[in-house]
Amino acid sequence: QAKANGRNRYEFFTKEIAESIRQRDMIEVLLKDALSDKTFELAYMPIVDLDNGDIVGCEALLRCPSLQQQGIGPDVFIPIAESTGLIKKIDLRVIEQAFVDYLQLKSRGFEGYVAVNISAVELRNEKFVGQLCELLAHYRVPAHKIHLELTETRLISPDQDAVAVLEDLQQLGFQLVLDDFGTGYTAFNQLMHYPVSGLKIDRSFIGYCDNPQKVKMVEIILALANVYELNVVAEGVETQEQAAYLAEQGCQYGQGYLFSKPIPFDDFCQKLEPGKLAAG
């Protein structure tokens, strides 16, 4: 009886593993197809000044329609893109599209910034800085209007090489931002070793404004950001209460479903105040 049970469990697990390997392979194939067919899309999420509701910037978020159809989003496919190395091409594609979109926004009178996510893989990629340099020169985008977001959890311990890449990116004029802050391993006293100009508070801390422990964490992060003179964006703002609480605590910027879900570029353009958009 026990043996039979054991075997069932074993078979169950092998099936699960086989299924997940199949799924990974399927995702890899669809990512390759999306790269060669150029079917990736960017969705944009406004970043808002919590004091007055002005849109100060936006974040570009990658969408892969063929995977989206199956309910698979970037939280699942980005790690697979990272482990297969496809991420390098994907990140460049995203950055290039974000540059094109930025220029479009700017020509319509938008004075804000565009944030893009880059993988921590790029901090080990010797070609990355040069490639961004070429893209900047080609599109003539002012680098300070581009924020590069790096997820804190994936940085773990930044060695000299990784910090050197960050410094080069900063030299080029990009603003560097630590994403999902509070969930990773960045000892607070290590923060000064990163050449970053901003933090994004992870949305897990924002969703529980009624949880005293999480509220304390938000306050600690804001105090820390103040010491290091870092910009702070709260992610995952979904209610008016959260926005009001954050503003009261001195968090200047927010992003979340309260303001807008990620939307296609054209819809984002529509959202900008008419006064800020040139006619046509």
Q: Which of ligand C2E, Mg ion, none sits in contact with 195, Cβ below 5 to 8 A by type? A: none
- Which stretch, 9-17, 48-56, 169-177, 229-237, contacts ligand C2E (CB under 6 A)? 229-237
Residue placing its CB nearer to ligand C2E in the complex, 31 or 94: 94
Q: Rule CB under 5 A: which of 109-138 touch Mg ion?
A: 117
50 binds ligand C2E (CB under 6 A): no
Per-residue tokens: 39: 């079917």
Site string for ligand C2E, 53-82 (x = CB under 6 A): --------xx----------xxx--x----
Query: What is the phi-psi region of residue 229: left when phi exceeds 0, alpha when psi lies from -120 to 50, beta otherwise?
Result: left
97 binds, among Mg ion, ligand C2E, none (CB under 5 to 8 A by kind): none
Residue burial 72-91, b: 16+ Cβ < 10 Å; e: rest: bebeebbebbbeeebbbebb
Nearer to ligand C2E, 35 or 277 (CB): 35
Tell me how far apart the alpha carbons of residues 254 and 271 are, in angstroms, rounded to a whole number.
Answer: 16
Residue spans of alpha helices (H) in the chain:
2-37, 65-68, 74-84, 87-107, 128-139, 160-171, 203-206, 212-227, 240-248, 265-271
- Determine the interface stretch with Mg ion among 96-104, 171-179, 208-216, 272-280 (rule: CB under 5 A): 171-179
Which letter does DSSP use for residue 278 in this model? P
What is the Cα gyration radius of the chain?
Answer: 20
Give the closest residue to 165 by CA, choosing from 129, 197, 198.
129
Examine residue 180 and tell whether it contacts ligand C2E (CB under 6 A). yes
Task: Tell whether residue 125 is a contact of ligand C2E (CB under 6 A).
Answer: no
Site residues, Mg ion (CB under 5 A): 117, 149, 179-180, 235
Q: What residues line the site for ligand C2E (CB under 6 A)?
A: 61-62, 73-75, 78, 91, 94, 117-119, 149, 151, 179-180, 203, 235-238, 255-257, 262
